[in-house]
Amino acid sequence: MTTMPRLVRAELFKLRTTPGPWVCFAVVVLLTGLGITTSFIVGQHGVVHFTAPTTTTQLRRLMGAGYTSAIVMAPVLGVLCITTEYRHRILTATLLIHPRRPDVLVAKVLASAVWGVLMAVASFVMIGAMGIPLLVAEGGSFSHLLRQVGPVMPGMFAAYVLLAVYGMGIGTLVRNQIAGVILALGLSLVLEPIIVAIFGSLAHMDVNFLPTRATQALAGSLSARGPGGGAGGTSSALLSWWLGAIALVLWGTGTAVLGYFTTFRRDVT
Amino acid sequence: MPAVNASVRAASIEVKSLTKRFGAVTAVDDLSFTVEPGRITGFLGPNGAGKTTTLRILLDLAAPTSGSCTIGGRPYRDIPDPSRHVGAVLEATNFHPSRRARAHLQMMAIEAGVASPRIDTVLALVGLTADAKRKVGGYSMGMRQRLQLAGALLGDPSVLILDEPSNGLDPQGIAWLRDLLRHLAAEGRTILVSSHLLAEMAQTVDDVVIVSKGQLRAQGPLSILTARAQSSMRVRTPEVDRLSEIARGAGFAPRQLGGGALLVDGATPEALGPLIASNGVVVHELVQVSQDLESLFLELTTSMTTRDQPVPAVTR
């Protein structure tokens, strides 16, 4: 067996034998359930109804019910993938077995991506197990929902994967686990909306290349609110899906490469 | 004790002119030494002597400021599948507390490409088979040390580098470790072990490398180093200056210790006794100084003036 598959297998094994990633997994399921529920809440003439989504936008919100969990938990998973090694000094054991650090970093990127896929699968399983029965029970159209699989599902999978890699990059940069989690969440949930709002109101500029906005473009550029009730912005203000994907790839690889050159090459003490 | 693979290829460890600076602090200062296969070499020095830094550089966990380290003629990073050739124990905290001991070794085995049955072999070797399914967070310090050692032995390496491996071990554990190291060295493996437990080291090691303030103070077989140290005589006399002159004239190197005492390095009772008698020197006490590893260590590492002292490097 060549080295890289071994390294990736070891990274996946590390993730599945610690509780952190499983907590992330559980939160993904929970947030997706919440997203499903909110996609059935429709306001009409100032009155809120719990009813089956019928419009394209509403159906895509249901199909993209895992959007919030992707934004929140995929980067956290990526952060855990690398910072757990620093926190418990497991990196020493890792590097003793394989001292070529770029390989280790690539293996972690790939392992984060695989867990991103697993999170996406969990999210869509939840939609299948909860969202579809609820839709049918409320009298919605299953066939209309199926039409939204193509526009939403590939983008959502890509978003989970790329956001997990982005989180891994953040973890490589900061090394401290708590700081990494706070930074990943703070950037997505606090800093980005502020930046978008400031540039939007003061300079009338659409800052579309930031991770959350790029994710919106990738996973649901059709939505005025973003799937699952994400942050604001209209579809016209978002990047096209492939530019969103490129932006996320650049955020992920950029932070990882920067982290490699600034922290990952340092002495391990 | 389960047998380990005897088909090991011996490899020496070579440290050449190694220097490591952390800002203004020089942790390792132009350090050079060699560790030979088939022997247990004790790497000794007081706290802050640069032992751990040297080992970390040797294992490519830290970069040297200058100099080089090789194992079997290669830098660690250039050794293909290094864990199959070099096993290391650095500290007993490299575990995720929620991971079970067997899973920890499995993680290492996957990365190293080692077959799973070897995990059971090393668990048995370190006496952790019964506790293999427990989470490491519940392990005692001694059990963690054993688990570290199991990890180091996973690839059946020909070189073992152990930093304070007896930390946390009870007396039975220390005796067990001593037997294990002896067993492994007898198979031709190269073993470099650092420790503060000098009495234990004296029973375990064949060779010593003594460092202080990042510099080499002594290197060689322990038996030769201590035998040479044993040839000192301590004399208490009211005629210190006169005896110093007589001893110097006879080719010895006397040192005044204060309180009317003189230490005559290189002297034996058979050589010094007749000299004292023939010159009619009054002596109150004549003692052969029986030095062991601890006294040798203390002599070499306390009140040193670094470069102005010669490094006693001896060969077998």
Q: Where are the domains of chain B?
A: 13-226, 233-288
Q: What is the pTM of this model?
A: 0.82
pLDDT category at B252 given cuts 50, 70, 90 is confident
Give the whole-angstrom CA distance, residue A210 versus residue A207: 7
Question: Pick from B56, B95, B107: which is nearest to A10 by CB?
Answer: B107
What is the DSSP track for A99-160? --HHHHHHHHHHHHHHHHHHHHHHHHHHIIIIIHHHHHHTT--HHHHHTTHHHHHHHHHHHH
- More confident position, B259 or A181: A181
What value does the mean pLDDT take over residues B252-256?
Answer: 85
Chain B hits for A92, CB-CB cut-off 8 Å, are 61, 90-91, 94
Residues on chain B touching A13 (C-beta within 8 angstroms):
103, 106-107, 110
> Distance between CA atoms of B105 and A134, rounded to whole angstroms?
46
> Which pLDDT belongs to residue B92?
61
pLDDT value for A223: 43
DSSP designation for B313: B
Per the CB < 8 Å rule, is B106 touching A13? yes
- pLDDT band with cut points at 50, 70 and 90 for residue A231: very low
> What CATH code would you report for B13-226?
3.40.50.300
pLDDT in tens, B193-217: 998 778 788 888 999 999 988 999 8
Q: How far apart are CA A245 and CA A242, in angstroms?
A: 5
A7 contacts in B (CB within 8 Å)? 111
How far is CA A218 from its chain centroid?
11
- Let me know if residue A129 belongs to a domain: yes
Residue A70 falls inside a structural domain: yes
Which residues does chain B have within 8 Å of residue A94's beta carbon, measured at their own beta carbons? 111
* Total domain count, chain A: 1
Q: In what order do the strands lie in the sheet with B25-35?
A: B25-35, B13-22, B66-71
Distance of CA A34 to the CA centre of its chain: 16
Name beta bridge partners: B163: B194
- Banded model confidence at residue B32, pLDDT cuts 50, 70, 90: very high
Radius of gyration of chain A (CA): 19
Contacts 24+ apart (CB under 8 A), B295-298: B295/B229, B296/B210, B296/B218, B296/B225, B296/B226, B296/B229, B297/B44, B297/B198, B297/B210
Nearest beta carbon to residue B61 from set A10, A98, A267? A267
Q: Closest partner residue to B94 among A13, A17, A89, by Cβ? A: A89
Mean pLDDT throughout A184-189?
90
Largest CA distance in chain B: 76
Give tens-digit pLDDT for A57-78. Answer: 889 889 999 988 999 999 999 9
Judged by CB atoms within 8 Å, which residues 11-40 of A form the interface with B?
13-14, 17-19
Contact at CB, B111 and A7, closer than 8 angstroms: yes
Which amino acid is located at B103 in the chain?
A: A
CA atoms within 13 A on the CB side of A119: 43
- The tens digit of pLDDT for each residue in B73-103 reads 999 999 999 999 999 998 766 899 999 999 9
Q: How far apart are CA B226 and CA B296, in angstroms?
A: 7
The three-class DSSP label of residue B155 is: coil
Is the dihedral angle over the CA atoms A156, A157, A159, A164 positive or is it negative? positive
pLDDT at B258: 81
**A244-258, B26-40, B42-56, B247-261: range with lowest mean pLDDT:** B247-261
Q: Which of A14, A19, A99 sits opposite B107 (nearest CB)?
A: A14
The model's pLDDT over A151-168, given as tens digits with 9 standing for 90+, comes to 889 999 999 999 999 999
Residue A31, domain member (yes or no): yes
d(CA A12, CA A163): 17
Contacts of B168 (CB under 8 A, 6+ apart): B92, B140, B141, B142, B144, B145
Range of the domain at A42: 3-264
- pLDDT exceeds 70 at position A240: yes
B62 with A268: Cβ contact below 8 A? yes
Q: Is B220 helix (H, G, I), strand (E, B) or coil?
A: strand
Query: What pLDDT was estimated at residue B314?
Result: 56
Are the beta carbons of A96 and B62 separated by less than 8 Å?
A: no
Under a CB-based contact definition with an 8 Å cutoff, are residues B287 and B233 in contact? Answer: yes
**Rounded distance between C-alpha atoms, residue A256 and residue A105, angstroms:** 8
Q: What tokens appear for A149 in the block? A: 């699989």
Burial A28-66 (b: 16+ CB within 10 A, else e): bbebbbebbeebbebeeeeeeeeebbeeebbbbbbbbbb
Q: Quick check: B7 pLDDT over 50?
A: no
Distance CA A39, CA B3 (A): 64
d(CA A92, CA B92): 11
* pLDDT band, very low/low/confident/very high, at B2 (cuts 50, 70, 90): very low
Which residue from A minimizes the CA distance to B85?
A97
Rounded to an integer, what distance in angstroms lies between the CA atom of residue B70 and that of residue B58?
A: 7
Q: Does residue B310 have a pLDDT over 80?
A: no
d(CA A31, CA B13): 55
- B191 - beta bridge partners? B40, B160
pLDDT at position A129 is 96
Q: Which of A10, A90, A100 sits opposite B96 (nearest CB)?
A: A90
Residue appearing with tokens 């890289």: A4
Contact B94 A95 (CB under 8 A): no
| Total Cβ atoms within 10 A of residue B118 | 18
